[in-house]
Structure 1
Amino acid sequence: MNLNFREIASATMILFAVIDIIGSIPIIIELRKKAGHIQSEKATIVAGLLMIAFLFLGKEILNLIGIDVNSFAVAGAFILFFLALEMILGITLYKDDAPETAAVVPLAFPLIAGAGTMTSILSLRAEYETVNIVAAIVINIIFVYLVLKSSKKIEGVLGKQGISVIRKIFGVILLAIAVKLFAANIKSLFI
């Protein structure tokens, strides 16, 4: 086992920016209003299991359809780039239909473990040790759970402006990560 705290910290920050649970607080509050209750524990466990399963099976699924991890990482860099633009500019390039209930489906997938998160996990696999990515997923899942449990309090403390500022900061971090991921993997496609 090759635990590397620098890799864990880096992977944690990447996943934190992609999952963007702080930026999702308004959506979580809206879900709570519509459904009356959010299944925080269930949503968190399902999202964590989805992410870990994709970490281990994602590469095999890609091999099955004939795509290598570096190509997927480059594609992931583009997704992260557009997610970052959405966060920084406050625009919506892609939006799913609004979820009807606050059950596992809209929370665990696609809100927490969505396409951006899955792409990031496989992209991270091209750069980091698996054990460090698992640690990063666990750290993020714990944070997601805490945010889901205390979303009303967080919104009250940060306010709309605070959430907006945090989103923009993580958008810039995500943009830098997208550029790094693209640069690190594009070379291998032409060798």
Structure 2
Amino acid sequence: MSIPIIDTIRGMIVAPVQTMHQQEESTVQDTLIYYLEIILAFALLSTIVTALLQSAGFATTVDLLAPASLLIYLVGLIVGMIIALVIMVLIFHLCARVVGGDGEWTDTLRAVVFSSTPIAVIGWIPIVGSLIADLWSLVLMVVGIREYHHLSTGRAAIAVLLPVIVLIILAALAVSYLTISSATFTTVPT
């Protein structure tokens, strides 16, 4: 059973819960193929838009005027998104379990993959597209964790926001430690 890309993209926009339920029986292989399709689309469109912006004189974070740079950027996006998938599945699965979710890791994989759909659809559009895609993906992640792990919406939201909260706390602790350390080491005895 392969996942029809156009129908799934449309479904994730207009009827995400039903679309996620339709994909409950999809294999890991089919889910990963869908993910590769959408990240390839995102990577190609993002590379083209970034190169066009740079050739029009806009400052970009990478130099894409050389053909080799284009290929490296494209491959880097794809590899980065595959690594991000693995990390996100591990983190969100653990968080879903912490708040009482009963889904398998394959359910978390589906939630992460299908919630990535808006990024492929509009995430490559500078500024506004990526902002809307990130917000919609966050909502879809909550829905996916809720549906696949059989949680309430509140618990699913906690599972999705828990990594963000932990990162904020760790960052605050790191800043506090560095501030205290620098104040301690810069004090010169008189």
Q: TM-score of the superposition, structure 2-length normalised?
A: 0.31
Answer 1 or 2: higher relative contact order, Cα 8 Å, separation at least 6.
Answer: 1
Structure exhibiting the larger radius of gyration computed from Cα positions: 2
